[in-house]
Chains A and B, each alone.
Chain A
């Protein structure tokens, strides 16, 4: 993947983020529309780059830190686009896109080379596992952003942000969709583990924490029925849940030894 295209992508998202910031200051709808158009253009470009890498590699190239950050960033941008088009959450984009810039910024200095696929990963179950996993993570990142904005909105009561009810709806939807896709990721991973290692549950630290992520968000899908937890507590849980996700994705891959190393 050529670095200039990556920098162009980063600039597109960065400009969109600045656009949302200016929209907050000047409150001009045209600026927000421009930012949204830039994000759509960014997603289009990123999809093209991802498809090109997939075509070049012959497999979904999500096997190192650069590739996972790039895929995570693509999934988050795509999901933001979905929520924006569905709920028109404009200023919320500032927070989500800042997170996306962090992901893409983390990928930029890394080697973009596509390495040879190790034989154990040569199965469609690997692609399904990865796709569901990172799209699930992206929904959890969205829930984290919306949760943080919910807490901000309870103090600011700003008309630039969506109202608390909308934020709660989006948060619950993001958690539910994230949980659903992460469940499919766990199922694909378990089937793959069974045929590759002969047992469908592994006591590897990454697998253990993936179960914890699943249990945490399963709990969140239930927590919305507890009246006292609706809204504020749910927002805090979304933030805490993303902490668990980040540790599972980056903490274990970079700090601890696991069968899902990130280099």
Chain B
């Protein structure tokens, strides 16, 4: 063998030994630990920068945060590099062990933990590069919601039932949902607290719920109380109907005379209604419920007295995607199995003296 070949082989061998080095593992893990320790305190004191870290994947959050304050977020990529190198070091150790498994099979538990750590690192990287986190998405019963970043996939909320304690404290949110891929149902589930719909890396789970003003109840002399919801029609006579097109909980007219929404809480409600006759639309306009009925309605002989608002409930759903979730599950499985093997072999090795000599 030539000198050059020998030198390159010896360099490769030295690199391999470095890759498997326990001291390197400790140095990298210590560096990552110190960086993350410091970084976690920076996180606490700069919530404006770091609050979004939880709600987005690293590939989206990091460039944004870096643009805001590179010095404050520098620990994130630095510790990421340390952990990445640490995972490579762990992989080298695992390969080294596999090559000598006949003599070192007693360490199966420990090396299953190593394998699990490598899988978790891959899963974390994968999920944080090509996954997404979105929501909370507002969805009403019977409504379809397009899944973000996944063309053709949509979610249908078939039924929503919030569960409350007698005190009004929310207990659970029961969302009967189905997932559709280009018109074909691919999954369905009752999504509630701690019971998400998991499909192909997607996780759909309840976040909260709320109510939106949907209409009003009115008293009509001689007819009693009737309910008018958005999109519904109220027959006034055999030839005349009132149709409610839009309902705003808090509205006003601006300088140009246009009606604009000023808030989401019930304060100065207004409804866009039209009067329909046999020949079509007779009139359309805004009715501010705190004011008297519009002249056109009064002249048509309509007498409405608003009594109480009508709300419809919506569900708030979080939709995340982690394509690495199966790899993470495999990693977790390896680690769990490894722990039990290692626990068993620890005492066996102690009994046989196969451990660092005390």
**Chain A interface (Cβ within 8 Å of chain B)?**
119-120, 122-123, 125, 165, 168-169, 173, 176-177, 180, 183-184, 187, 190-192, 194-205, 208-209, 211-212, 215-216, 218-219, 222-227, 230, 256-257
Q: Does B335 contact A (CB under 8 A)?
A: yes
Total number of B residues with any Cβ neighbor in A under 8 Å: 47
Q: Flag if A223 contacts B26 (CB, 8 Å).
A: yes
What separation, in Å, do the CA atoms of A124 and B53 have in the docked complex?
A: 28
**Chain B interface (Cβ within 8 Å of chain A)?**
22-23, 25-26, 29-30, 32-33, 36-37, 40, 43-44, 50, 53-54, 113, 124, 127, 133, 170-172, 193-196, 198, 203-205, 318-320, 322, 325, 328, 332, 335-336, 339, 342-343, 346, 350, 356, 358
Q: Flag if A226 contacts B23 (CB, 8 Å).
A: yes
What separation, in Å, do the CA atoms of A235 and B264 have in the docked complex?
A: 61
A194 / chain B contacts, CB cutoff of 8 Å: 203, 325
Q: Flag if B29 contacts A215 (CB, 8 Å).
A: yes
Which of A123, A202, A215, A226 lies in contact with B33, CB distance below 8 A? A215
Which of A169, A198, A208, A218 lies in contact with B203, CB distance below 8 A? A198
What separation, in Å, do the CA atoms of A256 and B45 have in the docked complex?
A: 10
B198 / chain A contacts, CB cutoff of 8 Å: 195
27 contacts between A and B (CB under 8 A): A120-B193, A120-B194, A123-B194, A165-B358, A169-B350, A183-B339, A184-B339, A191-B332, A192-B194, A197-B318, A198-B204, A199-B127, A199-B322, A200-B328, A203-B50, A203-B53, A203-B54, A204-B54, A208-B36, A216-B33, A218-B29, A219-B26, A224-B356, A225-B356, A227-B356, A230-B358, A257-B44
Q: Flag if B22 contacts A119 (CB, 8 Å).
A: no
Which of A198, A216, A226 lies in contact with B318, CB distance below 8 A? A198
Q: Look across to chain A and name the residue whose beta carbon is closest to the beta carbon of B205.
A: A198
Given contacts A165-B358, A187-B332, whether A119 and B193 have CB atoms under 8 Å apart is yes
Given contacts A200-B322, A219-B33, 13 further A-B contacts (CB under 8 A): A120-B193, A122-B193, A198-B196, A198-B203, A198-B205, A198-B318, A199-B133, A199-B320, A199-B322, A203-B43, A212-B37, A219-B26, A226-B23
A222 / chain B contacts, CB cutoff of 8 Å: 22, 25-26
Q: Look across to chain B and name the residue whose beta carbon is closest to the beta carbon of A202.
A: B54
What separation, in Å, do the CA atoms of A194 and B195 have in the docked complex?
A: 10
B328 / chain A contacts, CB cutoff of 8 Å: 190, 200
Q: Flag if A212 contacts B193 (CB, 8 Å).
A: no
A219 / chain B contacts, CB cutoff of 8 Å: 25-26, 29-30, 33
A120 / chain B contacts, CB cutoff of 8 Å: 193-194
Closest 7 CB pairs of A and B: A198-B320, A198-B203, A203-B53, A119-B193, A123-B194, A208-B40, A180-B339
Interface of A is mostly: helix
Query: In the assembled complex, how far is the CB of residue B127 from the closest CB belonging to chain A, in whole angstroms?
Result: 8
What separation, in Å, do the CA atoms of A115 and B89 have in the docked complex?
A: 47
A208 / chain B contacts, CB cutoff of 8 Å: 36, 40, 43
Which of B25, B50, B53, B336 lies in contact with A184, CB distance below 8 A? B336
Q: Look across to chain A and name the residue whose beta carbon is closest to the beta carbon of B51.
A: A203
Q: Flag if B36 contacts A212 (CB, 8 Å).
A: yes
Given contacts A215-B29, A222-B22, A256-B44, whether A196 and B193 have CB atoms under 8 Å apart is yes
Q: Look across to chain B and name the residue whose beta carbon is closest to the beta carbon of A223.
A: B26
A202 / chain B contacts, CB cutoff of 8 Å: 54
What separation, in Å, do the CA atoms of A254 and B196 have in the docked complex?
A: 31
What separation, in Å, do the CA atoms of A194 and B133 have in the docked complex?
A: 12
A227 / chain B contacts, CB cutoff of 8 Å: 356
Query: In the assembled complex, how far is the CB of residue B274 from the closest CB belonging to chain A, in whole angstroms?
Result: 43
What separation, in Å, do the CA atoms of A126 and B50 have in the docked complex?
A: 26
Query: In the assembled complex, how far is the CB of residue B128 from the closest CB belonging to chain A, in whole angstroms?
Result: 9
Given contacts A176-B346, A219-B30, A257-B44, whether A195 and B339 have CB atoms under 8 Å apart is no
Query: In the assembled complex, how far is the CB of residue B46 from the closest CB belonging to chain A, in whole angstroms?
Result: 12
Query: In the assembled complex, how far is the CB of residue A251 from the closest CB belonging to chain B, in whole angstroms?
Result: 11
Query: In the assembled complex, how far is the CB of residue B52 from the closest CB belonging to chain A, in whole angstroms?
Result: 10
Q: Look across to chain A and name the residue whose beta carbon is closest to the beta carbon of B123.
A: A200
Q: Flag if A183 contacts B196 (CB, 8 Å).
A: no
Q: Flag if A195 contacts B196 (CB, 8 Å).
A: yes
Q: Look across to chain A and name the residue whose beta carbon is closest to the beta carbon of B163.
A: A119
Q: Look across to chain A and name the residue whose beta carbon is closest to the beta carbon of B26.
A: A219
B133 / chain A contacts, CB cutoff of 8 Å: 198-199
What separation, in Å, do the CA atoms of A180 and B203 have in the docked complex?
A: 29
What separation, in Å, do the CA atoms of A56 and B11 have in the docked complex?
A: 66
Q: Flag if A230 contacts B22 (CB, 8 Å).
A: no
Q: Flag if A215 contacts B343 (CB, 8 Å).
A: no
Q: Look across to chain A and name the residue whose beta carbon is closest to the beta carbon of B30.
A: A219
A184 / chain B contacts, CB cutoff of 8 Å: 336, 339
B343 / chain A contacts, CB cutoff of 8 Å: 177, 180
Given contacts A119-B171, A180-B343, A194-B325, whether A225 and B336 have CB atoms under 8 Å apart is no
A176 / chain B contacts, CB cutoff of 8 Å: 342, 346
Q: Flag if B205 contacts A209 (CB, 8 Å).
A: no
Q: Flag if A190 contacts B205 (CB, 8 Å).
A: no
What separation, in Å, do the CA atoms of A212 and B73 have in the docked complex?
A: 18
Query: In the assembled complex, how far is the CB of residue A182 from the closest CB belonging to chain B, in whole angstroms?
Result: 10
Query: In the assembled complex, how far is the CB of residue A192 from the closest CB belonging to chain B, in whole angstroms?
Result: 8
Q: Look across to chain A and name the residue whose beta carbon is closest to the beta carbon of B192.
A: A119
What separation, in Å, do the CA atoms of A211 and B322 have in the docked complex?
A: 20
B127 / chain A contacts, CB cutoff of 8 Å: 199
Query: In the assembled complex, how far is the CB of residue A208 from the closest CB belonging to chain B, in whole angstroms?
Result: 5
Q: Look across to chain A and name the residue whose beta carbon is closest to the beta carbon of B358.
A: A165
